[in-house]
Chain A
Amino acid sequence: MKPPTNPQAPPPRPTEAASHTVGGARHWWWQRVSAIALVPLTVWFVFAMLNHIGDAQQNAVAWVAQPGVAFALCAYLAALFFHSYLGMQVIMEDYVSSAKNLRITLWAMKAVHALGALVALGSVLRIVMQ
């Protein structure tokens, strides 16, 4: 079945759409892959985080430094920031109308997510290395 076409304007050619939006199938696929990875990681993380957020620094550091915890944390953080960017991208594509503003917004989103992932993952690695 063919999807209904938009009578007001021809659909843009792939090169005409914002470059970020090319590869919708790939986006869809990675959103699901990261979602499935996040199912067990999120359940673990919420319970663990609520247990440790009030810890004194030494105790929290000792918790993060355990190899299993550090590994799960890194997996969770990577999947979290990746999935978060993919989701925010879809929301921006739905509600930011001009191609130029969309491009700027998506670059800003990318930068914020990359920075967040860098700080979070870098901090875990730094604790492990200590």
Chain B
Amino acid sequence: MSSTKQRAHSERPLSPHLQVYKPQWTSVLSILHRASGVIIALSALLLAGWLGALAGGAPGYQIAHGFFTSWFGQLLLFLWTLCTFYHLCNGIRHLIWDAGVGLELSTAYLSGKIVLGATLGLTILAWWV
């Protein structure tokens, strides 16, 4: 390390890496929030591709249409639905926390379970009702 500046960066601790935690409901749901966010971000690019194909013309749209109606495309759409509803419900949980409400551990566990229930409920509603 040649300079203080470099050292300040290299020795600053990063966020705890996942493997040092004993999994708990609260931490697992927190990690899932990030993971689902990343999946939604990647899906946003696929969405842009679908819109681009839709605006572009028939040959491109045939490919996009074929992809999203294939079993693999449907599986991706299903995972996208789960991730989106989870991130949405858990995001609302975060907004409530930001207001300073529901921060007790027992309430956090309860709201986590409500989020999981709502995620499943909304996904079933969107796919099968």
Contact = CB atoms under 8 A, between A and B. Distances in A.
Interface of A: 6, 8-10, 12, 16, 32, 35-36, 38-39, 42-43, 46-47, 49-50, 53-54, 56-57, 60-61, 64, 77, 80-81, 84, 87-88, 91, 94-95, 97-99, 112, 116-117, 119-120, 122-124, 126-127
Given A6-B13, A87-B41, A116-B45, A46 B84 contact: yes
| Central interface residue in B9, B40, B88, by most chain A CB within 10 Å | B9
Q: Is the interface of B mostly helix, strand, loop or mixed?
A: helix
Contacts of A84: 37, 40-41, 44
A109 to B, nearest CB: 9
Contacts of B84: 42, 46
B68 A94 contact: no
A8 B37 contact: no
A interface secondary structure, majority: helix
Contacts of A6: 12-13
A39 B48 CA distance: 20
Contacts of B41: 84, 87-88
